[in-house]
Amino acid sequence: MTTETILIVALSGRMLAASAQRAGYCPLVVDCFADDDTLALSGAVEKLPSAFTCGFDERSLSDALHAIMSKAGVGPTSNPLIVLGAGFECEPEVIAALSREFRLCACDASVVSRSKDPAVLFPLLRDLGIVHPETRLDPPAAATEPWLSKRIGGSGGTHIFRYDARRKVRPNRYYQREVSGELISATSLIGSDGQAFAFTRSWLSPSDRHPFRFGGITGHVELDEDIEARIVDACVSLAPALALKGLVSFDFIVVGDEPHLIEVNPRPGASLDILDDASGTLFKAHLAAFTENEAVELLSREWRPHPQAAAYVYADRGELTVPDVAWPEWVSDRPPPGRVIPPHAPVVTVRTLAEDPDTAEQVCRVRTREIADVLYQSSENQGKRPDECK
């Protein structure tokens, strides 16, 4: 086991920090929240809250990275590894700057740019014969069927809205015909020795303002053999065309027996929370993909996952001042007592380990409601502990 330090930058760094620690690394994290979990997992943490709405700024991010390196006693000439999570989809130039200063264990700037640019991605899907919803850069004229408006470079579901021709057109958007079906993602490890897959199922937690807001995710789902084969074929065709590497995810909507590819995320995604094992094997394999080691072989030799699910708890009952509570071990991203959570913002993540994916999802949904009840009823439940929830 190594005790090497590793830099992590993401909108929320807790998930990557936890996986890095399981893999034996000491994570140094820059993110937007610096929640209690991330502080406990990391050798040093710097908080850049502005990145959540404005993206990562090259200068402030560089300053934050050097600050955590100084806190951890890591010299400026040590050339540490750096892993990137969500938050760079609109700032590939920041990735390029990081690659000049650190050993980048992430898809490079050009790969991220191509993967998130609808003017590049969707013509490529058409050329490769990969089924996808009709997509266009200009608003649909006189649409008789529902269309979605998505932000170019967006991640998560809060940037997605149903297109309404009566409203002012937003800048930096593209448009995709809405299709309804099961939300299936293929998490893929892409290394020099091949490509491996695991499949997850997601669900939404819609609000009035954000009808496509992420709700939760269930891991290790079994798919119909034909659907799985179609998804794998699409991903295997697309990976070299985009020069993808490491842990990436391909998001599909399965309509009947036809998977429609809607998005490519060239980075570790939310599935890492539920697909990783107790030894951080997915994190180790992700690093191996960028350090000329046999990533897929490592995965096949060491990966020992279990069915899990994870879901977000949102402040959907109004502004929430976080009470001083004893959190159960299955709650992550815990904010400190007294922090004020705006209405509809994420509060915590709940997780479940179960015998099968369906049970994991069911228990996870129950836990989100129970934790929300405890948080909002704290004034009348001062003696009740969240870890007493089932």
Tens-digit pLDDT profile for residues 16-67: 999 999 999 999 999 999 999 999 999 999 999 999 888 899 999 999 999 9
Question: Which residue type is seen at 172?
Answer: N
Q: Could you tell me the end-to-end alpha-carbon distance of the chain, in angstroms, rounded to an integer?
A: 35
Which DSSP symbol is given to 23?
Answer: T
Q: What is the mean pLDDT of residues 204-209?
A: 93
176 by DSSP, 3-state: which? strand
pLDDT band at 76 (very low <50, low <70, confident <90, very high): confident
Considering only CA atoms, which of 239, 243, 241, 259 is closest in space to residue 251?
259
Q: What is the mean pLDDT of the chain?
A: 93
Domains of the chain in sequence order: 5-106 (3.40.50.20), 308-388 (no CATH)
The pLDDT assigned to 385 comes to 54
- For residue 129, the number of C-alpha atoms closer than 13 Å in the C-beta half-sphere is 4
Within 10 A of 230 (CB to CB), how many other CB atoms are there? Answer: 20
CA distances in angstroms from 6 to 29, 273, 332, listed in the order given: 9, 18, 21
Q: What is the mean pLDDT of residues 86-109?
A: 96
Question: How far is the C-alpha of 352 from the C-alpha of 221, rounded, in Å?
Answer: 14
The pLDDT assigned to 380 comes to 42
Question: How far is the C-alpha of 312 from the C-alpha of 332, rounded, in Å?
Answer: 10
- Residue whose tokens read 């228990």: 363
Question: How far is the C-alpha of 12 from the C-alpha of 85, rounded, in Å?
Answer: 8
Considering only CA atoms, which of 235, 237, 252, 286 is closest in space to residue 83?
286
Question: How far is the C-alpha of 161 from the C-alpha of 190, rounded, in Å?
Answer: 32
Distance of CA 57 to the CA centre of its chain: 20
Q: What is the enclosing helix (H) or strand (E) of 230? A: helix 225-242
Tell me the pTM. Answer: 0.92
Instruction: Compare 155 and 108 and report the one with higher pLDDT.
Output: 108
The pLDDT assigned to 27 comes to 98
Give the chain's length.
Answer: 390
Question: How far is the C-alpha of 194 from the C-alpha of 181, rounded, in Å?
Answer: 30
Torsional sign, CA 94, 241, 217, 246: negative
DSSP strand E in 5-80: where?
A: 5-9, 26-31, 44-47
Q: What is the mean pLDDT of residues 149-169?
A: 87
pLDDT band at 390 (very low <50, low <70, confident <90, very high): very low
Which phi-psi region, left, alpha or beta, contains residue 165 (left: φ > 0; alpha: ψ -120 to 50)?
Answer: alpha
